[in-house]
Structure 1
Amino acid sequence: MSWFIRFNKPYDVLPQFTDRANSESPRSTLSDFIDLPGVYPAGRLDRDSEGLMLLTDNGRLQAQISDPKHKMAKTYWVQVEGLPDSAALATLRNGIELKDGLTRPAKVRLIDEPNGLWPRNPPIRVRQTVPDCWIELTLREGRNRQVRRMTAAVGHPTLRLIRAKIGDWTLDGLDPGQWDSLPAPELNVGQQRKRDRRPRR
């Protein structure tokens, strides 16, 4: 039996189980919320970002989800400073030249604040003279701090970043800090034989 879980990572939580870099004053990690032996994140989510993480104890499944070559779609809710115009949105869609090269085409749209969104702790810094808004951004690549760099490049710095979806998996029904177990998907790597990988209950 393999574990396959989804987790709603709160803000300011490291996307790993230990804080080796700060042993004298350890920061909050996944181990403060998840007490399962042998599970590891399938991909990362920055400490200052929130939202969906997938974890498993199956190495092949972990690679299938996290390896950029599989181009699994990841959708983010992004609160940005200012109100992006059609030109800024088109630039995000078509690709932006960053220091590490041109980004792939992305899906981008303006959205209302997501329904049922939890308050962030601590709250974002609000500038009374500058409006803000939300966009939904779907990528099929995963460069370091890519979403933040993309919005900054079009003049709209990211204020809050929440990953809402990875492939077909969403945050639905999960409060910050909560996780649940799911039936593991069938592997699609090489000629790996299909198996029933339902987690223990």
Structure 2
Amino acid sequence: MKSHILAATTILVSLWFCSPAQAQNAEPLTQLQETKQCPGCDFRGTDLPRNLVNVDLNGANLSGTDLRSADLTCANLSNANLTEVVLDEAKLNDASLANANLSNASLIGAVLINTNLISANLRGASLVDADLTNANLESADLSDADLTNVNLSNANLKETNIANITGLTIEVTEEQDTIEREENNRNTCSRTTDIRRGGRVNIMPPLPRKRPGGSR
């Protein structure tokens, strides 16, 4: 009899201490699933759904989160902490990652067409095979990033830090132009996107290394 009472007491104590913590972890996820909005929420260690189209995660903490193959089209990830996040093969078309911290993030094969990356921190990030067509990288930090086979067609690299990048050589020519792009059938965003470019991007393969003692 005493053993049964002891066991029941142990279970009740466990529920008393565990439930609040579990509730705290579940609340932001529930809010996100029900409203598609959870700005400033902490999702570290959370198993997030892969359909995150149009979500508002402004200022959220997703550090180290696995979001590979997630659909973040038109998502608002401005000011978010995305350090060491895994976004391999993810879709980030028309998303806003302005001022986001993506240092050491993995974006292998990610699609970031028309993505706003103004002042984003991509230091040490892996962008191998990523598509950044029309992306706005003005004042972004790409230092030490791996840009092997990346597509930067029409991307804005004005005042972008490209120190010590690997995978390709970038030459930026100053040529100001402004493009107003209205919604089209492929754009699921409910807003009109204004892309301001600061220059035309010419992508060149890495220069061949000179052999010691070879001809110049």
TM-score, length of structure 2 as denominator length: 0.23
TM-score, length of structure 1 as denominator length: 0.24
Rg comparison, structure with higher value = 2
- Higher-RCO chain (CA-CA 8 Å, sequence separation at least 6): 1
Higher strand share: 1
